[in-house]
């Protein structure tokens, strides 16, 4: 009788343990089905004359364009593509905006270089209205992130300003989003450049109001060639102080009240790391990512990557990480 009771107890114990293990299994499976918070990363990078071929170099030099002295040979052109691709691969951003890409030839060549590093990017290309320098603003999106859908690119509605601008609209985690990629007039303190950059900023403001009215959350990024009057960078001197109203206008695109956009630069710490360009010996920030003020709680990090391979660019990229 005693042996029978022991056997019955063992069977019951086995059933109990089995039930607990099954419950744990169900619990694990349920947790695996829970959706993770979708993260999105956005990167802007001025690639400093990213060329597609030696033929392009020859044609540009015929126009008297300078700054191409170290990009004459096929090996130099390929070295730059590999260097830029290495920086992109380090962060694998979901949305990538590049400036100073020379035509679709260079854009597709970089896309191929990224493929060589195991990255699959979709290219969204529109040729800019900058017919002299032929510098394009280019968007690429990471194919592995299914949270970015309905992607379209368009030119600004202003027929003149900005000449180097592309607008990417998409559903970002289901939210209608518009990202304006820019390369504004260079030389931050030269009076004629300031006047032109402010006209460009006025045109961007019109775009922002149009897109916002249409229901889009709006971002602005790229080489804005100017300083933020509110958010300081690594150089506190007067040399790096804005004399134009370009960023002020863009951030406060609805006149009156608070700014509609906030500069992601405020999340870069320490202050010494706040530089994207060496402007006449001043390490300062000319490249920016401006995001909606009500997206601030989505920011999980902002990086300016100063580990730049030789030959990549004379700028450093900015990467914004968001989470919903």
Which residues have CB under 8 Å from 250's CB, separation 6+?
201, 204, 205, 208, 220, 224, 261, 290
Coil, strand or helix: which one is 197? helix
Distance CA 38, CA 16 (A): 39
Question: From residue 218, how far is each of 146, 158, 206, 250, 314 by CA, in Å?
Answer: 20, 18, 12, 11, 28
- Determine the Cα–Cα distance for residues 214 and 105; give it in Å rounded to an integer: 34
Q: Which helix (H) or strand (E) holds 129?
A: none
This prediction has a pTM of 0.89
| 100 torsion bin: left (phi>0), alpha (psi -120 to 50), beta (else) | left
What sign does the CA torsion over 299, 303, 304, 305 have? negative
* Closest to 229 measured CA to CA, from 212, 248, 250: 248
The pair of structure tokens assigned to 138 is 């280019």
The two structure tokens encoding residue 55: 């033929």
Does the CA dihedral 160-163-169-172 come out positive or negative? negative
Q: Where are the alpha helices (DSSP H) in the chain?
A: 2-33, 54-62, 74-91, 103-115, 191-213, 246-251
Q: Which residue has the tokens 């149009």?
A: 210
| Domains, in order of start, for the chain | 36-323 (3.60.10.10)
Please count the other Cβ atoms lying within 10 Å of the Cβ belonging to residue 305: 16
**Which residues have a Cβ under 8 Å from the Cβ of 152 and sit 6 or more positions away?**
124, 168, 169, 170
Q: Which two tokens stand for residue 179?
A: 């990202």
CA angle in degrees (0–180, nearest 5) for 159-160-164: 110
Q: Mean pLDDT, consecutive 10-residue segments, the chain of 324 residues?
A: 48 48 44 61 98 96 92 95 98 98 98 98 96 97 96 96 98 97 96 97 98 98 97 93 95 94 98 96 96 98 97 98 96
Query: What pLDDT is recorded for position 255?
Result: 85
Tokens of 68: 């191409």
d(CA 214, CA 201): 20
Query: What pLDDT score does 38 carry?
Result: 81
Check residue 37 and give its pLDDT: 57
pLDDT of 20 reads 52
What is the number of other CB atoms lying within 10 angstroms of the CB of residue 51?
Answer: 24
Residue 152 CB coordination number (10 Å): 10
pLDDT number for residue 22: 46
CA proximity to 54, closest of 106, 114, 125, 98: 106
Strand order in the sheet with 287-292: 148-154, 165-172, 175-183, 217-223, 287-292, 261-263
């Amino acid at each position: 009788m005693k042996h029978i009771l022991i056997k019955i107890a063992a069977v019951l114990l086995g059933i109990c343990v089995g039930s607990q293990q099954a419950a744990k299994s169900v619990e694990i499976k349920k947790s695996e089905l829970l959706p993770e918070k979708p993260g999105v990363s956005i990167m802007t990078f001025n690639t400093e004359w990213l060329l597609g071929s030696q033929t392009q170099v020859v044609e540009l030099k015929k126009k008297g364009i300078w700054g191409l002295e170290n990009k004459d040979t096929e090996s130099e052109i390929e070295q730059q593509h590999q260097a830029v691709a290495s920086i992109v691969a380090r962060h694998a951003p979901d949305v990538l905006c590049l400036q100073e890409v020379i035509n679709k030839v260079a854009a597709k060549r970089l896309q191929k270089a990224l493929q060589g590093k195991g990255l699959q990017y979709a290219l969204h290309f529109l040729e800019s209205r900058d017919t002299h320098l032929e510098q394009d603003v280019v968007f690429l999106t990471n194919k592995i992130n299914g949270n970015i859908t309905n992607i379209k690119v368009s030119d600004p509605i202003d027929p003149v300003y900005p000449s180097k601008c592309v607008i990417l609209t998409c559903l970002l985690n289901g939210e209608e989003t518009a990202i304006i990629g820019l390369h504004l007039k260079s030389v931050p303190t030269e009076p004629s450049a300031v006047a032109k950059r402010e006209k460009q900023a006025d045109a961007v403001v019109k775009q922002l109001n149009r897109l916002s009215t249409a229901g889009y959350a709006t971002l602005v990024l790229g080489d804005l060639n100017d300083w933020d009057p509110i958010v300081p960078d690594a150089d506190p001197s007067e040399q790096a102080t804005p004399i134009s109203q370009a960023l002020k206008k863009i951030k406060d695109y609805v006149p009156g009240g608070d700014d509609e956009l906030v500069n992601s630069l405020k999340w870069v710490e320490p202050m010494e790391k706040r530089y994207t360009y060496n402007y006449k010996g001043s390490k300062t920030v000319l490249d920016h990512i401006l995001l909606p003020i009500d997206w601030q709680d989505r920011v999980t990090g902002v990086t300016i990557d100063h580990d730049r391979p030789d030959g990549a660019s004379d700028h450093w990229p900015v990467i914004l990480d968001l989470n919903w």
